[in-house]
Amino acid sequence: MAQEKYCLGIDFGTTNSKLAYWFFEQPCVIRNDAGEANTPSVVHFKDDGTVIVGREAKENLIPFPERTIASVKRKMGSRHRYNVDGEKYPPEYVGALIFRHLMDLARSQTGIDFADAVVSVPANFSDAQRSAIKDAAEIAGLNVTRMINEPTAAALAYGLRAAEGEKKTILLYDFGGGTFDVSILTVSDNFFNVEASDGIKKCGGDDIDSLLTAHLGQIIECEHKVDINQDLKTLQMVRAAAEQAKIELSEVEQTTVNIPFLVGKSHEGPVAFSCELTRATLNSVIADLIQSTKMPVVDVLQRAGLSFADIDDVILVGGTTKIPAVKAFVEGLTGKPPLCYIDPYEVVAMGAAVASMEGTGVRFDQAPSGAPSPALEISDVVSHSFGIHVFPENVEKIVEKNEKLPICKSKPFTNIYPYTPELEIEVYEGERETTVSANRIGAFFIDVVPRPAGENQITVSFEIGTEYGILDVTARDKETGIERKVRMEAKSRLTNQEKLKWAKKLANGNILTVVVQDDARKVETALIFNPNRTICDVMQRLQQRRFIPTTESNQFLLYHEKQALLGSEALSEFVSGNEVYLSLRNVDESGDVHPRKK
């Protein structure tokens, strides 16, 4: 099949990241020169100002822990900042460094300069966390065409191997480096339908490393009177040994932990530490953590209206599922031996590569009759509820968790207080019933005619697209017809100016700001691009951001000054001081150009 563009499938992981792309009618994992699919999600800032990412960066966790950042995915969507040499880096920039490294790896191994990507995210990630990961990819210069839930991506990889014409119900148990997700999907005729998803945000291999590190720390303190928590280098040394022991005990019953130069602040000199660690000990240390994944599994089955007897296949995803105790737990819980014939480390990246083909008309296999099978379709769900603040401190949900995407739902509301000239619409995310415990996303006001309490009639509508990560909220006064539509942005999200700042830093200034103005609506948007991108890329990004409707994209043209642009022009042709100014106009059937209608 001929393709104009290749698209990367990226599994941006807490501990490791993986890459794949669609090549010769199948997902192909991209490996480094050593044949490894895993790239450690670790960034090291060197003294000379340069940055290294991946395996080499991870080797600096012990000697230079204060200059090395790991598990940045857990900080996405937060206001956390990493302080290195007086510079405060947001998680999005650190993540962008990883994305840029992955882009360079993909280019060196395939010879393809990838511009587009499908990026996977944990199913239980919030809007803020998803937006932060997308921002990180865009800062690195990638155009994120879709964000897909990790369990859904894994099902796509396995689904290609399901018999045509067969319908299956699949339970995806995704235990990765930083998060746990579980999803129920039905698969038939290349249609992947997510019934329900749930999970735990901080539950993964990182947490097992922490538990095993604490266990070793107790032994060390008992034998050598060294508190590993008093020295960062010592703590990282023990943590690295714990991680290695965890990996080895997934293959053997017993291993030896050796730390030849263990140093404590209160100790006179280095001491050698060695101990035997058994798989049974590991199992006892992590038993409660594994058990904590049971509740989300049971809950997701109930939400889907199913029982374990209704499940046809159980699929293991994520490196943590390689631990024998995890496999045994899943089999004991579900009553079915789990499938794992695709490497749990690679399956999400492979599925993301498959997802990149949705909408292209690609058909993967032949139906039993010999006719082409249906094209790939994916139906996902929203993993959190959304609602607004109602009197006194409650959250009235408009969108419920696990509703099918895309979503457009409305509810009527009224004024509690009499004769107010405006009403505030406060938007919340999460399953909590009160504003005290729910996550406030944002708020806006709508003007109303002052009326007695209970007489204003306001309809509030929530709209979430198939991507999940863009929430549009509309409030409309039934009496006056006044309408206010606001796109909700997470409070912690970087502004366009901040994104541009970090994109310029990453690209050493070789970056463009493309400002698109829609004079009819008196609105504009700013986008970040590499100079070698084209007007077509700008139109695609505008559609993704819903600045123009995807279904009506052929009705609009971009103009530079008075010149209509065809789409193939490079942005570098229109640069003025690292900026490009374009206007959006509507074209009618006669070919006349006029400003876009409201």
Whether cis (ω within 30° of 0) applies to the bond prior to 372 is no
Q: What is the CA 195 to chain-centroid distance, rounded?
A: 19
Q: Is 111 helix (H, G, I), strand (E, B) or coil?
A: coil
Q: Per the residue annotation, which of 92, 174, 198, 518 is the catalytic one?
A: 174
C-alpha torsion angle, residues 250, 334, 17, 467 (rounded to 10): 180
Q: Is 11 a catalytic residue?
A: yes
The reported pLDDT for the residue numbered 362 is 54
CATH class entry, domain 205-288: alpha beta
Question: What confidence score (pLDDT) does residue 1 get?
Answer: 36
For residue 27 the two structure tokens come to 């997902």
Residue 274, classified by CB atoms within 10 Å of its CB into exposed (0-12), middle (13-18) or buried (19+), is exposed
The CATH number corresponding to 7-203+292-379 among 3.30.420.40, 3.40.50.720, 3.40.309.10, 3.40.50.620 equals 3.30.420.40
Q: Start-end ranges of CATH 2.60.34.10 in the chain?
A: 386-488
Total-model pTM: 0.85
Please tell me the distance from the alpha carbon of residue 343 to that of residue 467, in angstroms, as a whole number. 26
Contacts of 104 (CB under 8 A, 6+ apart): none
* Closest-CA residue to 105 (of 201, 196, 195, 40): 40
The residue from 150, 198, 209, 537 that is catalytic is 150
Report the pLDDT value the prediction gives residue 214, as an integer from 0 to 100: 97
Q: Is 73 a catalytic residue?
A: yes
Please, what is the Cα angle at 93 between 509 and 244, to 5 degrees?
Answer: 135
Return the residue matching tokens 């994120």.
Answer: 144
Catalytic residue (choose from 73, 134, 397, 401): 73
113 in active site:
no
**How many angstroms separate the CA atoms of 224 and 165, rounded?**
64
Residue 524 is predicted with a pLDDT of: 80
Distance (Å, rounded) from C-alpha 63 to C-alpha 57?
Answer: 11
Q: Between helices 150-159 and 347-355, what is the axis angle to 10°?
A: 80
Spot the catalytic one: 11, 231, 477, 537: 11
Q: Indicate where the chain has its CATH 3.30.420.40 domain(s).
A: 7-203+292-379
Q: What is 510-595's CATH topology?
A: Ubiquitin-like (UB roll) (3.10.20)
Tokens of residue 563, six digits? 């010149």
- The CATH architecture one would assign to domain 386-488 is Sandwich (2.60)
Burial of residue 185 (number of CB atoms within 10 Å: 0-12, 13-18, 19+)? buried
Calculate the CA dihedral of residues 62, 65, 70, 75 and round it to 10 degrees: 150
221 CB-near residues (< 8 Å, 6+ apart): 227, 228
150 included as an active-site residue? yes
b/e map of 354-368 (b: 16 or more CB within 10 Å)? bbbbbeeebbbeeee
Q: Please give the Cα distance from 428 to 473 (Å, whole number).
A: 11
Question: In the beta sheet, which residues pair with residue 185?
Answer: 170, 194
For CA atoms 41, 45, 49, 52, the dihedral sign is negative
Q: Are 157 and 378 in contact (CB under 8 A)?
A: no
Rg of the chain over all Cα atoms, to the nearest angstrom: 26
- For 131, the 3-state DSSP assignment is helix
- Cα dihedral value 343, 345, 350, 352, nearest 10: 150
Give the per-residue pLDDT at 272.
87
Whole-number Cα distances in Å, 404 to 148, 282, 401, 468, 476: 14, 40, 9, 10, 24
- For residues 558-567, one letter each, b for 16 or more C-beta atoms within 10 angstroms of the residue's C-beta and e for the rest, the string is bebeeeebee
Segment-wise mean pLDDT, segments of 10 residues, the chain, 598 residues? 71 97 92 94 95 96 94 95 95 97 96 93 90 94 91 85 73 95 88 90 94 96 90 91 96 95 66 93 97 96 94 94 97 94 93 84 45 66 92 94 91 95 94 89 94 96 77 94 87 84 85 82 79 85 75 75 84 84 72 45
For 148, list phi and psi in degrees, rounded to 5.
Answer: -125, 140
- 563-564 and 556-560 beta bridge pairing: antiparallel
pLDDT of the residue at 161: 54
Confidence (pLDDT) at 264: 57
Q: How far apart are CA 371 and CA 380, in angstroms?
A: 27
What angle (nearest 5°) sits at the alpha carbon of residue 348, between those of residues 342 and 350?
70
Q: What's the rounded Cα separation, in Å, for the pair 395 and 407?
A: 19
